[in-house]
Amino acid sequence: MSTASSIDLDAIQGIVREKASLPGALLPILHAIQGRTGWVPEEAVPLIADALNLSRAEVQGVLDFYHDFRREPPGRHIVQICRAESCQAMGAQALETHVKSSLAVDFHQTTADGSISLEPVYCLGNCACSPAIRIDDEVFGRVDSNRFDTLVDRLRAEEVSA
């Protein structure tokens, strides 16, 4: 896990340099940094601003505007629960209640063991298999409380064996 003390500024500088010439480069740069580090550290902001000839405020504004970009290190896994209408019609609210109590966190929080960050999401495009959740880059459909517990148990078992 990346922490504030182990930020690889050289890697971030490399990403910025590589992508700075793209038209409208800011989102691709932020995605690439987050893809590598898991979040976008504060120290990246002036580097990006310099390379794109923007003010720090402009870069910070974009970072804050989009729900995806994280300004703090997340847990080792991101779990997203869909809150949108189709999933609600199939019991997403009950699932959400179960998830929050079983992980003992609310949305935008990370479990005490640093394993899972819980986030809401508004539609994963899996609406014919509602309720849907996403764990890291994998989407799961027809998720009820039991299936959720199985998926989380598997995630934790993989962490132990890894």
3-state DSSP assignment of residue 13: helix
Residue 129 annotated as binding site = no
Region near another protein per CB under 8 A, out of 8-16, 17-25, 110-118, 152-160: 17-25
Closer to another protein at the Cβ: 50 or 58? 58
Phi, psi for residue 66 in degrees, rounded to 5: -90, 130
Closer to another protein at the Cβ: 113 or 158? 158
125 is a contact residue toward another protein (CB under 8 A)? yes
Secondary structure, 3-state, 44-89: HHHHHHHHHCCCHHHHHHHHHHCCCCCCCCCCCEEEEEECCHHHHH
Residue ranges binding another protein (CB under 8 A): 23-28, 30-31, 52, 58, 61-62, 65-69, 84-90, 121-130, 132, 134, 137-142
Binding-site annotation: residue ranges for [2Fe-2S] cluster: 82, 87, 123, 127
